[in-house]
Amino acid sequence: MRWRLESLRALLADNLSRLPRRAWLTIKYRGLGQFLLRALTFPLRLTPLGRRIAPDRLPPTGSSEARGWYRGNWRPVTVVIPSFGPPETTVDAVKAVRRTSDPKKVRVIVVDDASPAPFGEQLRDALEGKAEVILAGENRGFAANANRGMRAAAEDHDVVLLNSDVIARPGWLEALQHAAYGADEVAIVGPRLLYPDRTIQSAGTVRNLGAPDWFDHRYRFKPAGHGPANIGGPTLAVTGACIYAKRTALDRIGLLDERYGMAYEDVDWCLRAWEAGMLVLYDPRSTLIHHEARTRGMEQGERELDSQRLFWERWGDWFDVREVRTTEGRLRIAYVTEDTGVGGGHRVAFEHLNRLAARGHECELYSLGGPPDWFDLQVPVRTFETYGELAEALAEVDGIKVATWWNTAAPVWQASVRRGIPVYLVQDIETSYYPDQPRMHAAVLESYREEFRYLTTSTWVADRLRELNLPPTIVAPGVNLETFRELDVPREDRVLLALGRSNPLKDLDLTIEAWRSMGDDGPELWMYGIEPELAEPFGARYFTAPSDSEVCELLNRATALVQTSRHEGFCLPLLEAMAAGTPVVCTDAHGNRDFCRDGENCLMADRDPESVRAALERVFADPELRGRLCAEGTRTASAYGWEARIDELERFLESVAPATAAARA
């Protein structure tokens, strides 16, 4: 009971006793104006209005699930705090641990790395009755000093390695331990660390894209409540400022490598866990404050540079020399889809696989769905019940592994930590599929990990990825010009063709409203797709699940095609219509800007029924206009033949694949 009361007191202290320092930090990092705004609105934040006006609220720590689990399943833990120099910050760190944990379940060991006198004795005196203190006789650096403390931990204890400048918050330990015991294979868990100004210091460790010999913290400097940082899961590594290590991991992978004098020892430890077949996790439910400066010096000392050299001697090939080729030197490629149902994104992925396989590459599809019944996919399909099973099988493949949808990114990334190269084919920024769902937006954006090589289909999507500091390569989808072409069939005079889908992004309602506003003298409406019920209320004619050749015939018979999408990552049906010589009326859907030119190869209407109706009436009333749009449309489509697209795709895949072993020799 006493430690629970202490936890409550700590929570209040975190919000009240630090007000002077928080005021100073707000002025320093946010400016005087933001400080005055917060000061004036502070009384309101104590009312029910507080949720609406409190800026950058600190995310809650712990969770009811973790606390409930911990009460009945807790494991003993030793918290090891390496220390050097003046004792004040270390004393604060120990007090925070004691305020937020039960002393019957948590042992605290502070290890001083031979600080100059009188700091060691001051530390011992200040922590009497609060922690065990080990005063080392020789300064050996962080890794060796941390190992002193971990060796002193009981053999049945898990270990938390905690920096001396980290302040624990209520619920931190329960969340870390709950995550650690969520699966037997978990070895290490790290929390979300915040700077004192409540911006993120670390949410997992990634390789620095701009300086690949170094590692950086994910979401550094983002607000504490940054949505993607609220998504936990596997991560390459976590910072040594706070690491929860299970006893099973310590027994299997050992302690920190003491050859690292400064830096890299934490990443090395995590990579050894991955190599042992275990997992490293990031859990944002555990949040602590790290009193590390936001700006650090750019010059590295000799000990840090020595650690860097040691790390890359050991791990350089592990990162940069991945075997992804067959014995004949061809690429081994696995695409991953969530299912294999009818869809434009699947069509692009399946065309990639078929055409790469035709060029001699070894290609497979990994999916939660069976072989598609609507597309002639000519590569092996491996089907799994769960993503966990899929990732486990894919992890054994030495190849290029391609995620094709945000929900496939995590299993592809995890399956590529030790073997292979992860690629992310982003055909759209998939937050568009989840309007007004911020949690889903966060999950989608979190899937765009820095470790992927990015491939996309349009300039609009590429620009969005660049805004996330993710450099993409654009390879547009192709059109099968042997299938989609002008046929010798009579074209109807008054038929409007539309893709009949209920997906809100397609905005079929706008098409219907514009068509109905044309009145009784308007054209007949035909639709195609897999949702025939959409046509019944309007008396439209619906062609259910037509083959590609049947779609081409529909395009050749129709007077015009209309598509009024709110948003598209590319919009392949418009190109297919152009290839078939069908006039196109569309809206600006972002991804179609690469090939749709208003007044030249299409009419691009504003997003309202009157504008769409006016464009349709122009097309149906003017045969000469239809002829010009058709001629320019077929010229546009001719530049999108699949062979040229696969040339570009093959160059991209070759660029991410290391040279063959023979070439390296």
Q: Clarify whether residues 106 and 27 are in a common domain.
A: no
Parallel, antiparallel or unpaired: strands 584-587 and 603-605: parallel
Same domain, 538 and 428: no
- Tell me whether the omega of the peptide bond preceding residue 371 falls within 30 degrees of 0, making it cis: no
Same domain, 118 and 215: yes
Asked if 510 and 597 sit in the same domain, the reply is: yes
Comparing CA positions, the residue from 391, 467, 472 lying closest to residue 426 is 472
CA atoms 544, 545, 549, 554: torsion sign: positive
Identify the CATH number of the domain in which residue 570 sits.
Answer: 3.40.50.2000
The two tokens of residue 332 are 């081994």
Domain assignment present for 48: no
For the beta carbon of residue 512, count every other beta carbon within 10 angstroms: 21
What was the pLDDT predicted at 296? 53
Interstrand relation of 332-337 and 106-112 (parallel, antiparallel or unpaired): unpaired
343: in domain: yes
Q: How many residues does the chain have?
A: 665
pLDDT at site 235? 98
Backbone angles phi, psi at 386, to 5 degrees: -135, 160
pLDDT at 366: 98
Q: Determine the pLDDT at residue 11.
A: 46
| Tokens read off for 502 | 């209920």
pLDDT along the chain (665 residues), means of 10: 48 53 52 58 49 42 86 98 96 97 97 96 96 96 97 98 97 98 97 96 92 94 96 97 98 97 96 98 97 65 93 96 96 98 95 98 98 96 97 98 98 98 97 94 97 97 97 97 96 97 96 96 96 94 96 98 97 97 98 98 98 98 97 98 97 88 46
- In this structure, the answer to whether residues 86 and 6 fall within a common structural domain is no
Is 249 domain-assigned?
A: yes
Domain that holds residue 429: 332-474
Q: Are residues 139 and 243 in the same domain?
A: yes
Interacting residues of 358 by C-beta distance below 8 A, sequence separation 6+:
none
- Number of domains making up the chain: 4
Question: 189 φ, ψ to 5°?
Answer: -135, 140
CA separation (Å) from 486 to 344, 560, 595?
Answer: 21, 14, 19
What was the pLDDT predicted at 4?
A: 46
E strands within 468-598?
Answer: 472-474, 495-499, 524-529, 541-544, 560-563, 584-587
Whether residues 149 and 278 share a domain: the answer is: yes
* Full-model pTM: 0.88
607 and 529 in one domain? yes
Residue 664 resides in a domain: no
Q: Which residues of 566-598 are buried (b: 16+ CB within 10 A; e: fewer)?
A: bbbbbbbbbbbbbbbbbbbbbbbbbbbbbbbee
Same domain for 72 and 159, yes or no, is yes
| CA-based nearest residue to 226, from 408, 67, 442 | 442
Nearest to 236 by CA among 205, 260, 275: 205
Residue 291's CATH number: 3.90.550.10
pLDDT of residue 208: 86
Q: Are strands 186-194 and 242-245 parallel, antiparallel or unpaired?
A: antiparallel
Residues 230, 163 share a domain: yes
Domain presence at residue 539: yes
Residue 486 lies inside a defined structural domain of this protein: no
Taking the CA atoms of 395, 399, 400 and 401 in sequence, report the sign of the dihedral they define.
negative
Q: Is residue 278 part of a domain?
A: yes
Residues 105 and 240 reside in one and the same domain? yes
**Which uninterrupted H or E stretch holds 80?**
strand 77-83
Residues 459 and 531 in one domain: no
Take residue 601 and report the two structure tokens written for it: 């190869």
User: Can you give the pLDDT at residue 300?
Assistant: 76
pLDDT at 658: 83
Q: Residue 341 and residue 529: Cα distance in Å, rounded?
A: 12
Q: Is residue 369 part of a domain?
A: yes
- Residue 372 identity: P
Per-residue burial over 465-482, b if 16 or more Cβ lie within 10 Å, else e, is: beeeebebbbbbbbbbbe
